Chain A
Amino acid sequence: MRRLMLVIMISAFVLSLTGCWDRTELNDLALISATAFDKGNNNKILATVQVIIPQNQGSGQQTAAIGGGGPRAITRSAEGSNIEDALSKLQRKMPRRLFWGQCKIFIFGEEIARIGIREEFDYLVRHPQPRERAYLMVSKGKASEALNLIPPIERTSSEALREISNLRTGLLVTMEQMSMDLKGDSESNALPMVYILPPSKLADKPVQTIPYMKGAAVLKKGKLSGELTEKLLRGALLIDNVAADYSITFDVGGKQVSLHPVKTKVRLTPHIEGNNWSMTIKVQSEGSIVQNNSRMNPMKPEDLKEMNLAFRNDIHRRIEAAVVYLQQLKADTIHFATVYHKKYPKEWERVKEQWDEQFAKIKVTIEVKTDIKKPGLINTPGGMPYEEVQ
């Protein structure tokens, strides 16, 4: 009996005391959908946030009555000596409290990436609000421009970027992965590179387009030190074995054959003999034909063999190109360091300090096995008479 009274008294006490320490109404939050960091004047940082305007979200009948039609998001920028400084200045320009819980995209401008993002990255993993799942990107040119676009299909430009990433066709780096890479053995990693798609001819305004990702920025210790083209990125992705859904087009006797989807298994086997470090990349790829421009008939064993060979050479070339380029850059974005560390911890410990140099010296051998699994719905090349296909 007394216990109940006490419980009631205590809850009354708690309730009257708490009022609203941490309570924030949804209406008082500025939902940030993406953030961009650029180099500002005098070595300052220019932070740009894209904030969703809830009034303009045209969902449901009631909002139609309230408003809608306007832009669905807006960007705001502020400069500061570091991220927190810039953001606190930004907060002063916003009538609502900045809310990071749904911010899924962080874009670094090319210039600031060149200076290095390590120090600023600290804020993103230390502050409790930004999410570890957020995607990190580097933009060609100013990062804030990517946020200023008004996408025709998606709600915001950041959502367009996020949806593209979620298709998992290309490189995808979350904040936690970045944090692990920066802490990890090689201290180098690749981030997707953001470009702005030229607007469609149907667009009314030049901003009616979306940002998209092409190639990758290579970061050494958080500093932008090179760029992987889309083709090189494919090779690098093959080694890391991260992309899930992609197609490969290769030449067979001057004509193209495309496979989709391609499944690849990669095994990295490091060796150390004295001072000779070498790495064997064993690749096993398989795919199904979706287009066949050549005159080959995959149902014939000898033709299939030839196609397989071409497929193999193509993959070999891609990987080789990527490795050669990265070794030139001395940037180990393909995590060779981790592989060596795991297998040869003692030897690795010795070269740890000069890993970049050591990485460039590694002799890489690539062994590819390929298998074209399925011909698709037709056997001989379509769109031509039977006789033409020998």
Chain B
Amino acid sequence: MKGMGFEMDNGKITSFQVSLLMYSVILATGFITIPAISAHYAMNDFWLAPVLAILAGGSVLAISIKLHQLYPNKNLIQYSERIIGKVPGKILGIIYFQFFVFTCGIVSREYAEFVTGNFLFKTPMFCLVILMVLLAAFAVRGGVELIVRSTLLLTPLFILPLFFLLLLLPDFDVSNILPFMSHGFIPVIKGSLAPVSWYSEFLIIAYFLPSVIDQNKTVKYSFLSLLAVSASLTYVCLVALFVLGPDTANKVYPVLTAFRYISRADFFENLEALLLAMWVVGNFIKIAAVYYAAVLSFTSCFNLKDYKPFVFPIGILIVIHCFWDIPSFFKMAGFLATVGSFHLSTFMLVVPFLLFIIALCRKQWSKLVS
């Protein structure tokens, strides 16, 4: 409770933990969806897309860290009130709250679609979503410490299946990478729009930064996390490209197909259920983080001291969004591949950038005045 900005969550976390959290947040859905969307535009150069998108991810990170340095101990909503004034700030807060609830709903829907489309065909989506949102709600109620601590334990479970992809090594056809950029640079840029929107989710870090104790390491670790995200995503894309070649764009979930293709010694076969395990864990982390951002947006917007009573009601809102916003899988895939990129990057990249510019101008102006 020190300083003027009141803290709603007294948890103390480290930069490393936050970076790990962000890694899982970006990649949970990224692994599954990005290769297909990027391959659709960039053909066999789609593995470049995650590398290119570092620029966007880096700028989001830089903006959120810089803004946090300008307004320490405040989250996005709290400092936007300072930057653009009380009423516009509140309005922006409500918009962000709505945005995060919507994003959380989309993520839950993606998760449920993936599970019901590939593993549990008859299980009602409703049940899966509720189960997941409930688990996330417990994590959010436990506060920031619980979220990052469970992330720390669950991340290995999340990353481990990726190493199973190396079992495909004998099936790699490295020459699939050719012809390199045969259609020029434009398709690659189009293909990198999807990773850009995913990377811009790094903005969520703005909600966790006020709880970080070792602020001096934040820059180092968060950019490491960005690099790790990019490296992992490139790795997955390359595996998909080497194994599936021109067929990648045709698959709804290229990584799933790659997993299905694993076969070693007639024993390690059909390992896609492992991907399911990874997917569940990753999505839990992602949903919990976005959920947390939504809850914090809400409470900071209305200056509420205790966020816990709002966790479950907002959870219900998320479940509702998950079903009302998206009528079918086709609509969801269409949204993610087209509008979604712009929608996400508007809120996660453009708006913070504007805030940052205004904040800088204000600083300069106040300097001039004094």
Residue positions of A touching B, CB distance < 8 A: 3, 6-7, 10, 14, 17-18, 21-22, 101, 128, 131-133, 166, 174, 176, 179-180, 183-185, 338, 341-343, 345-346, 349
Residue positions of B touching A, CB distance < 8 A: 117-124, 127, 131, 134, 138, 141, 175, 178-179, 182, 243-247, 250, 257, 260-261, 263, 266, 269-270
User: Please, which residues of chain B bring their CB within 8 A of the CB of A343?
Assistant: 178-179
B117 pairs with A179, CB closer than 8 A: no
Cβ-defined partner of B120 (8 Å) among A21, A132, A342, A345? A21
Q: List 7 A-B contacts (CB under 8 A).
A: A10-B134, A132-B261, A174-B261, A180-B245, A183-B250, A342-B178, A345-B182
B179 pairs with A341, CB closer than 8 A: yes
A131 pairs with B260, CB closer than 8 A: yes
Known: A3-B138, A21-B122, A133-B263. A342 touches B247 (CB 8 A): no
Q: What would 5 more interface pairs be, CB under 8 Å, given A14-B131, A180-B246?
A: A128-B121, A133-B263, A176-B257, A341-B179, A349-B182
User: Please, which residues of chain A bring their CB within 8 A of the CB of B124?
Assistant: 21
Distance in angstroms between the alpha carbons of A194 and B151 in the assembled complex: 53
Distance in angstroms between the alpha carbons of A166 and B266 in the assembled complex: 10
- Chain B residue with Cβ nearest A126: B252
User: Please, which residues of chain B bring their CB within 8 A of the CB of A18?
Assistant: 123, 127
* Shortest Cβ-Cβ A-B pairs, 6 listed: A345-B182, A342-B178, A345-B179, A21-B122, A21-B123, A22-B120
Cβ-defined partner of B123 (8 Å) among A22, A184, A185? A22
Chain B nearest CB: distance from A360 CB in Å?
23
B122 pairs with A22, CB closer than 8 A: yes
User: Please, which residues of chain B bring their CB within 8 A of the CB of A349?
Assistant: 182
B269 pairs with A176, CB closer than 8 A: no
User: Please, which residues of chain B bring their CB within 8 A of the CB of A6?
Assistant: 138
B138 pairs with A176, CB closer than 8 A: no
A22 pairs with B244, CB closer than 8 A: no
B117 pairs with A128, CB closer than 8 A: yes
A183 pairs with B179, CB closer than 8 A: no
User: Please, which residues of chain A bring their CB within 8 A of the CB of B263?
Assistant: 133
Chain B nearest CB: distance from A345 CB in Å?
3
User: Please, which residues of chain A bring their CB within 8 A of the CB of B260?
Assistant: 131-133
- Chain B residue with Cβ nearest A2: B141
User: Please, which residues of chain B bring their CB within 8 A of the CB of A17?
Assistant: 127
A22 pairs with B121, CB closer than 8 A: yes
User: Please, which residues of chain A bring their CB within 8 A of the CB of B118?
Assistant: 128
Chain B nearest CB: distance from A363 CB in Å?
22
A176 pairs with B244, CB closer than 8 A: yes
- Chain B residue with Cβ nearest A184: B246
Chain A nearest CB: distance from B261 CB in Å?
5
Cβ-defined partner of A342 (8 Å) among B127, B134, B175, B257? B175
Distance in angstroms between the alpha carbons of A185 and B246 in the assembled complex: 9
Distance in angstroms between the alpha carbons of A166 and B269 in the assembled complex: 14
Distance in angstroms between the alpha carbons of A51 and B248 in the assembled complex: 32
B261 pairs with A180, CB closer than 8 A: no
Cβ-defined partner of A180 (8 Å) among B119, B123, B247, B269? B247
Chain B nearest CB: distance from A260 CB in Å?
22
User: Please, which residues of chain B bring their CB within 8 A of the CB of A133?
Assistant: 260-261, 263, 269-270
User: Please, which residues of chain A bring their CB within 8 A of the CB of B121?
Assistant: 22, 128
A180 pairs with B244, CB closer than 8 A: yes
